[in-house]
Structure 1
Amino acid sequence: MRLFRLQPEIYKFDKFSEFVKEFGINDKDVIVVNNSIYDKFIKELNLRSVFISPKKYGEGEPSDEIIDQVLAEAAKNEFDRVVAIGGGAVMDIAKFLVLDNVSDTLDVFERKIEFKKIKELIAIPTTCGTGSEVTPYSVAEIKSKGTKMGIGIDEFLPDYAVLIPELLKNIPYNFFAFSTLDALVHAAESFVSPGSNPYTDIFSEKAMELILKGYKEISEKGREYYSEIIEDFLIGSNYAGIAFGNTGVGPVHALSYPLGGKYHVAHGECNYEFFTPVFKTYTKMAPDGKIKKFNDLVISILDLKDDSDVYMELDKLLNFVWEKNKLNNFGMEEKEILEFTESIIEKQQRLLSNNYMPLSKDQILNIYKELF
């Protein structure tokens, strides 16, 4: 069995202009980027590339309708490379542009077509969370189905991952919080995944160390300090992406999808809601397996006493980074506890099966009830 794969070549530059020169960005490149990043870092360079802003077709996280419109716009141009500059949403959209003969996004998610990659993909993150620059995954809201769907195919793996800390300086605090919480969940779910191994553990452990130690520094020096150590979070996110790109993620993501899909809650915030409740359930079910190594690792990173209530301390720290909401505050209704649970069991088996321990219907219901 394959243990580990790392396809993208990884580059790092201090400034965006250095990347442009090194990669010879030209008029045969389609650059997928939203206007805020374009105006701040790219406009002054007067590049002749084709620029596509997904926000022209809708706000928030990607949907199949938005991706279809981006595909249609890109099809009007001749291009050799796709450059994705943004957070996970931009990258998840841009990955579709590398495939041959795709006009209907749902055909890809439902695997109704043959996948053929015909363009190079350069991925440049402007948040420190998704790790999408090193993974073969894309997730989108499927409007007709009222939920999110994810797919992982080798064709979606970027050819180059480019880290440019300059692009993350002074990102809004909520973007920082949601994206880094997302990266922490990626690393944690990878660590306890049945597909984890000594190679993936190296990256997931280091990712958790960078993120949690960074949070600890912020809790001591104040929230505004995050911009001073943003590069640590960027690299931590990248490590987490490498880890879960090889192992996949699991039930935390599965439970988050209906909430995010229906109420348009940020992906990282959704994952944060379900992170510790799922891991507490794992600990109760099988406390002496890989979950014990996870708990011991958190105790070590946070410099806690061995008999500490690890989840109480972890929740306390994470709640400083971003205060957790009750699910009803997002608009969720009580009747949806059962509806979401049944939807997950029906539609998210790919994620539910990638677990430390299988979660029953009753256990999923209880997690929703606890958080509601």
Structure 2
Amino acid sequence: MANVLLLPHQIFTGENALTEAGASICALGKKALIVTDPFMIQFGNVAKVEEMLKSNKAPYAIFSDITGEPTDKMVEAGLKVYADEGCDYLIALGGGSCIDTMKAIAVVAAGGGTITDYMGRSIEEDVAPMVAIPTTAGTGSEATRVTIIADTVNQVKMMLIGSSIVPPVAVIDPQFTMTAPPSVTANTGLDALCHCMEAYTSRRAQPLTDTFALSAVKRIVANLSTCYHDGKNVEARAQMSIAALEAGIAFTNASVTIIHGMSRPIGALFHVPHGTSNAMLIKVCLPFMLTGCYDRFADLGRAIGVAADDDDDKTAAEKFQAKVMAMVDEMGIPTPAQFGIDKDAFFKVIDKMADDALTSGSPQNTWHQPTKEDLVGLYKKLWD
């Protein structure tokens, strides 16, 4: 069977990437809508994008009401600004929430209706042109064919997938990641680690995704701790930005597995940021994942240098697991209780979360195939 690799049409990376991308960005349309959040305005990052647009004599409007994980209400509000201002292309500046919201606006702006109309559909038709400028090194949304939007009525996370929602232009400029605080750096960085290790150990992995996943995991293990402890380290931030992009390319083509499948329901029901809910699950999910895939996890252990070439696969895989768990501990990832989730409320919806996780299809990509009972047990282990 042939494999397909989806990528943005243009990827600008490195210092001054935004300036270099200016002409390509402004050629996408006549008026841009910048989709961002209040912190990007506060930190001066939006001003840098405005300066680029002004230097290219390009009109624009700003929608800055992204205040958390993206919801159908945010998409609706952004669509109104897009239409009222007469915009015809979009620029997302921010983390995954801003980029995912931009993708949803692009879909509905072109196809009409509401974002809930597109749940469960493959998005292959034309959408409004998009530019993704990530300010965190984690989601990889700048390179993915996925957007996740919370349905506030049914309290589920809608996952929309399609080749049309890969942003045509991605700008990976490390200057925009320098303002991320340690907690955001940790959560998004571990999200990227989940992306590459899940992609590499997915049933849908292929040689090209393996290349991106292995490169990403090496960069993350080498640089995430530095970024967490020294956020002003430009080289480490640049390496993490590249790693997040590589991990995004890997998982959008090979998919994710059990961690992401179990993470989405936690986020939808308890309003836990996506990166945090993934990081919470690493320590309970990794041992389960290893048992069906020692050889692939052994590759990861050898790639990052914690396992020797002559270690057997089980030993090498367990050394990788130990390294990842140590990173989770180092970065102070909260448990559900520490995050403030009520245990009784959590246990009341475990059945629903397990069903929703399986419905997403992601757990089924895991080599150790989980049953609903497995997922229920893993959710309960979060409270051990």
Counterparts of 1:223 and 1:14, CA distance in 2: 19
In the alignment, what sits opposite 2:253?
A: 246
Distance 1:226 1:147, change over 3 A: farther
TM-score calculated relative to the size of structure 1 = 0.88
In the alignment, what sits opposite 2:71?
A: 63
- Which residue of 344, 347, 366 corresponds with 2:354? 344
After TM superposition, give the deviation of residue 127 of structure 1 in Å: 0.8
In the alignment, what sits opposite 2:285?
A: 278
Counterparts of 2:287 and 2:304, CA distance in 1: 18
| Bigger mean CA deviation after superposition, 274-283 or 291-300 | 291-300
After TM superposition, give the deviation of residue 93 of structure 1 in Å: 0.7
Matched, 1:129 2:138: yes
1:28 corresponds to which letter in structure 2?
A: K
- Which residue of 254, 257, 263 corresponds with 1:256? 263
Distance 1:78 1:118, change over 3 A: farther
Query: Retained in 2: the 8 A contact 1:4–1:200?
Result: no
| Bigger mean CA deviation after superposition, 16-25 or 189-198 | 16-25
% identity of equivalent residues:
24
After TM superposition, give the deviation of residue 150 of structure 1 in Å: 1.0
1:49 corresponds to which letter in structure 2?
A: P
2:81 corresponds to which letter in structure 1?
A: E
Counterparts of 1:137 and 1:69, CA distance in 2: 21
Extract unaligned runs of 5+ from structure 2. Answer: none
Query: Retained in 2: the 8 A contact 1:127–1:168?
Result: yes
1:104 corresponds to which letter in structure 2?
A: T
Question: CA deviation digits over 1:137-169, x for unaligned, max 9?
Answer: 000111111121212111211111111111112
Matched, 1:312 2:319: no
Question: CA deviation digits over 1:243-297, x for unaligned, max 9?
Answer: 011011122112112221122211111101112322211223x3xx4x3321342
- Which residue of 129, 152, 167 corresponds with 1:143? 152
- Which residue of 177, 188, 201 corresponds with 1:168? 177
Question: CA deviation digits over 1:188-244, x for unaligned, max 9?
Answer: 11111111011110000110000011135568xx45565551000000000001101
Query: Retained in 2: the 8 A contact 1:255–1:344?
Result: yes
Distance 1:174 1:216, change over 3 A: closer
Extract unaligned runs of 5+ from structure 1. Answer: none
User: Partner of 2:68: helix, strand, or coil?
Assistant: coil
Counterparts of 1:182 and 1:234, CA distance in 2: 13
Counterparts of 2:302 and 2:368, CA distance in 1: 22
User: Partner of 2:365: helix, strand, or coil?
Assistant: coil
- Which residue of 21, 33, 37 corresponds with 2:40? 37
Query: Retained in 1: the 8 A contact 2:124–2:163?
Result: no
Matched, 1:85 2:93: yes
Q: How many residues align structurally?
A: 362
Counterparts of 1:237 and 1:274, CA distance in 2: 19
After TM superposition, give the deviation of residue 19 of structure 1 in Å: 3.2
